Amino acid sequence: MKQLEAQYKKILADYIVNQTEKNLYIAQNFTRQLIQKNISPEDVISIHKNAIAEIFPDRMNEAQPAYDFLIEVMVHYGMAHREHQSLLQKQAEYEMEMKIATSIQKALLKTHIPKLSTVDIGMLSVPARKMNGDYVHFFYHRDDYLSVAVTDVVGKGVPAALCMSMVKYGLETLEYAYKEPSYVLEVINRVIEKGVDDSMFVSMFYGCLDTQRNMFSYASAGHEPALHYNAKQDQFVALEAKGLLLGVLPNTKYTYQEVILEDNDIITMMTDGVTEFRGNDHLNSRQIITSVIRDNKYLSAQQLCQLLYREIEKIHGFDLSDDFTVVILKK
């Protein structure tokens, strides 16, 4: 410290005499030494005070209290500044971790939409934040069968993404049983109950379309009911199926329901980010969704998904409070 004080005294004395840009440049370079040696702001004030006392010994009596006051202020400022810098560093590290985690999630949980000649398929999933708590998984066998799992993790962030990865790989092991909605939910329930924290739960709607029989079978684990648009009758029916959230109890049983699909019928599966209008409780979300689908039923399944998102985004003031995921099947 003594060496730094001597250097600073000389730099200050030279500036007082000459007051040139060169003197200022030397002082600016000196600050780098202070930073490298981790000299606190209050110590810099103290160094300056001591230098003034030696250069102008007759003028320090009046200035002494002001310097002492400034040193006390800078002590607290330095502590707050260091804490602020630490928080900024932690925030930057968190942002980097989230960026990496989001990139990994997109790679691991990427959904490929199948293209079948027997049914038109549309899907759109938009996260409210960086990490997506929703996931869609398709199974299909030629043009004969199509199964889809629409999943929503009760939770956000990295834990939800890790839980969703477990759901994905659990579903992939069940390719042999994709035509059995109840069995699929029961197996995934056991996987989640054993491998996920008690505070983490998952809802899922699982549907299977037998295109040869035009039969849509479905089961639900505490998930948002799907909607069936009956084109012949021009009406919507909610596809209700009772079932406990996945991961609550290990031996939960799930039942499935069936409905016949006819030409131009539409099945809409979604997460609660589509139906919950937070801050707009006076609006009937189901009525809005059914109106959009009915009025635009001539569009392709993918176009319907995108239109539905745009309309709901407007209602939320272009600020979705939850992940938005919708899957549409058109016969």
* Digit-coded pLDDT (tens) for 83-120: 878 888 888 887 787 777 667 666 677 788 999 988 99
Cβ-in-10-Å burial (0-12, 13-18, 19+) of 88 comes to exposed
Which class for 17: exposed (0-12), middle (13-18), buried (19 or more C-beta within 10 A)?
exposed
Residue 95 half-sphere exposure toward CB, CA atoms < 13 A:
6
Q: Are 121 and 113 in contact (CB under 8 A)?
A: yes
- pLDDT bucket at 203, cuts 50 / 70 / 90: very high
User: φ and ψ at 124, to 5 degrees?
Assistant: -145, 130
The per-residue pLDDT for 112 is 86
Which domains, and CATH codes, for the chain?
Answer: 2-102 (1.10.1240.30), 109-330 (3.60.40.10)
Q: At 211, give phi and psi (nearest 5°).
A: -70, -20
CB 151 within 8 A of CB 202: yes
- pLDDT higher than 80, residue 60: no
pTM: 0.71
